[in-house]
Each structure stands twice: as C-alpha cells, then as structure tokens.
Structure 1
Amino acid sequence: MTVQVTDLTGGYGRTPIIKNINFSLQPGEIVGLIGLNGAGKSTTIKHLLGLLTPMEGEMSISNIDIKEDIEAYRQHLSYIPESPVIYDTLTLKEHIEMTAMAYGIDSETAMRRAHPLLNTFRLEDQLDVFPSHFSKGMKQKVMIICAFIVEPDLYIIDEPFLGLDPLGIQSMLDLMETKKKEGRTVLMSTHILATAERYCDRFIILDQGEIVAMGDLDALRAQTNMPNRTLDDIYIEVTQRGASS
C-alpha cells in the first residue's frame, strides 16, 4: 500500500490554499504533517479525505485513484478529526455499529475489534450510554475507537491529543505504533513537536500552502543546514524564513 499525492493544488474557492503538493506515504510508517495555523494542513487533509475537489493534481491509495472510484478509495482510510463528531441519538455501541456498517464490517467483528480498545480507554461499561453526555476527552476516545476498528491501510489523524489525558495520549501513541508494526500508515497532523519527533519516521512541513521541508529528522537538518537541532528548532526556522520572505 502506497499513498501518492501528486501536484495537488486546491482550496475552498477559486483561490488556492495549497499549491503543488507532492508526497508519498509508505506502509509501516508514521508521518507528521506540521505547520503553523493556516499553513494548509487541514486543507490537505480534506482533499485526502475527498471532502474537497482538487483544482489540480492526483491522489491515490493502493493504486486506487480518488477520481476513478472515490468510494473504493475511502474504504482504505479512516479519519480521527480534531473535534469529535458525535450523534446525540446514538449510544456508544451504535456509533461503533454505524462505523462498521459504513465499511462493510459485520457487527460481531466490529465488537470483537472494539472490546480491547474499549478496555484501553476505560469505556467498556459505557456501551449503552449516549456519548453526547461525555467529556471532550471521552468523545475523542469514541472517535479513536471507531477509527481503529476499521483497520484500514491509512489512518489520518488531526491533532489527536487535544482533550486527552496523559494515559489517553500514551494509549493513542501505542496504538499508532502497533499499526505501524502491522504495516499500516499513519498521517498525523500535530503541533506537539516533541512527541512528533519521538514517534514519527518522517515529516512534511507546510508553510503558506507549500511544502518547505520534508524527510526524516536527519534529512530536515541537512535541508536547513541545522545539524544536531531539534524538530522544534527546524520548524521555527523554516516558518520564520517564510514569514520574512
């Protein structure tokens, strides 16, 4: 499974927000998508999800082109949004069942996959509760559980740690590591760069809608002529360069 993004230009109207974006994601890696607010991270993610139509460019997962078969394309990914999307009239169990139905997973398989996740996030006794009454952190855990029962090729995760307690954050990171070892791919957008540096294999740094640096930490250091510096240092440097240019 390879995710390929080629010459992607797009946005919300006639004026592009992201311009000429090119990258590939390989099986068994965690890739950090980082940049300032407004750099184009969410726009890139929405294009990858098929929520926005590109002005130019191509996107594919496992050689399935989004333009040729968007439904087949979407079956190969799952998404954890920054803000949880919860349905007031559905219980936690019904959220899981609805997700399973969308991906063609039978209810028994979905619940078998969900039970260890429910235990990890301490929600095993909440199956018949309406998550609309949960705290934001608990709602985020519902999103994580629903995304991980799918077991897709690609996980797209937008600011996954917002609202989570320290135990929840570590559990989330452990899940990402497990999926990486299974040969799946994680694209994670985050502002927590110390965590990204520790867990991501590669990084894509966006600034003003363009990729300004890409690669593992050593490659970023070489591209920016900043040997032995942290991801934080490199990020600040390249975004400041963009602001002053």
Structure 2
Amino acid sequence: MALEVKKLVGGYSRIPVLKDVSFQVKAGELVGLIGLNGAGKSTTINHVIGLLQPFSGEITLNGVNLQKDPVDYKKQLAYVPETPILYDELTLREHIELTIKAYELKYDDAWKRAHKLLKIFRLDNKLDWFPANFSKGMKQKVMICCALMIDAKLLIVDEPFYGLDPLAVHDLLELIEEKKKAGTAVLMSTHVLDTAQRYCDRFVLLANGKVRAHGTLDELRQKADRPGESLDDIYLSLARNDQNE
C-alpha cells in the first residue's frame, strides 16, 4: 500500500469542502482524480501534500502518518502543481541543485537523472536560463523535471497537460508509465478524460466534496449501468445526476 486517505474532512475555513473522502493509491498504479470545477480535487491534493490540515480523518503514505510524522511523509512524495512555481532569481541549474539539497539526493546520481529528463524535454541547453526567459510550457517542464528526478514513492500531478505541447504530453505520459513500472504510486488530477481513460488504472470521481464513485472503468460502467460507454460519458451522467439531486 502507498497512499491511503481515510474519512478525510477538510477545507479552507470552518465549513468543510471535503466530506468523508476515502480512497487509496497503490504502488505501481495510476489513479485519476476526476471532478468538475469546485468538486474538491485541488482541496484533496492540498491535504495530501500537507498544505492544509484536515478537520478530521487520516492520511498515510506507506504507513507514515502525515500529521504525526510530516517530515518523513513528505520525503516520500513529489508534486507537479497545475501552475508552475519557480524562483525568479534562480537559474534552471540552481533549481535542480535546490531539489537535490532539499531531498538529500546523491549528487551524481541525481544529476544523471536530471540530465536525462532535461534532454527529453529539450531543456538541456537552457541550464543557465532564468524563469523570466521561459514560456509557461517550459516552466511546467522544469517542474516536471524537478519532480521526476526524485525517487519518490508517490507522484502527484495536478492538471499536468495545460501549457504542454503534444510531444511533451506524450513524453510525460511515457515517463509516468516508467515510474509506475518502478513501483511508484501516481495520483493525477485532470479534466482530459480521454487521456485519463487510456492511461489510468483506476478512478476517483469527486462531486460536491464527496467520492461519487471509484474503481476501474469497468466498475464505473457497472455502477452507472452504462456498459461500453466512455469515462467522459459516465462522468457527465453522474455529474448531472448530482446537480439534479
């Protein structure tokens, strides 16, 4: 078992956004976190990475409790946010160096992994560039490189495809597949449901801060009584039903 979220209640104020959210992400699988705007996806991720304190519930990663042992918990995860967050005064090279120091990585091994990733995303000749020189897509690639160079047990990617060109999307998906094969648990939030359908092993569908459904695509089809339909059709059906309740 990698990530386990149990009966999570939380949000940004005294009124909870998340209501009794529970799900798992096992080692070596990609779980898609799906939901409309305001469903609770970002709030869930912010709790999982430790930016928000839950009102109640428990979050563990390979048996390490986030609230009881936050340092050891966070050492195990890597995160790619929806909006790139870079330091204006640091070059790409210095962002790599900072990641190595923050995660206490072996220097030569980490740089070997970094160079491979930088070459894949065509950033290997831009090590001395500052963020001001990068496009949004290039900034996102820097975030991806910094996250994937870490030997994390859990990789969280939040809407990773926005701003990326088609080749970069393909490269990212291939790298995520490699991470899965190496035993990394991956939680991905996305609105690109056709891509999620092709690459995710299981899904967690959120609506109004609750887990509306979870499981494989076939299990979701059975739950919605819509055999053979796409993830997009199934989710839209469930979402419309929630809005009409």
What's the TM-score, normalizing by structure 2? Answer: 0.99
Match in the other structure for 1:164: 164
Q: Which amino acid aligns with 1:92?
A: L
Q: Which runs of 5+ in 2 are unaligned?
A: none
Residues 1:92 and 2:81 are matched in the alignment? no
AA in 2 matched with 1:30: L
Percentage identity across paired residues of the two chains = 51
- Letter matched to residue 18 of structure 1: L
Q: Which residue of 2 aligns with 1:187?
A: 187
The corresponding residue for 1:218 is 218
1:209 aligns with 2:209: yes
Provide the secondary structure at the position in 1 that maps to 2:149.
helix
2:64 matches 1:58 = no
Equivalent residue pairs, number: 245
Deviation, structure 1 residue 106: 3.4
Partners of 1:27 and 1:39 in 2: CA distance: 26
Deviation by residue 1:108-151 (Cα, 9 ceiling, x = unmatched): 22211101101100011001111232000000000000000112
Shift of residue 223 of structure 1?
Answer: 0.8
2:239 pairs with 1:243: no
C-alpha contact 1:86 1:132 (8 A) present in aligned 2? no
1:140 aligns with 2:118: no
Partner of 1:79: 79
Question: Which residue in the other structure is 1:26 paired with?
Answer: 26
Does the Cα contact within 8 Å between 1:159 and 1:189 map onto a contact in 2?
yes
Asked if 1 retains the 8 angstrom alpha-carbon contact of 2:30 and 2:199, the reply is yes
In 2, the alpha carbon distance for the partners of 1:178 and 1:132 equals: 31
Aligned to 2:104: 104
Deviation at 1:24, TM superposition (A): 1.1
Residue pair 2:2, 2:154 contacting (<8 A) in 1 also = no
2:124 is matched with: 124
What is the Cα deviation at residue 10 of structure 1?
A: 0.2
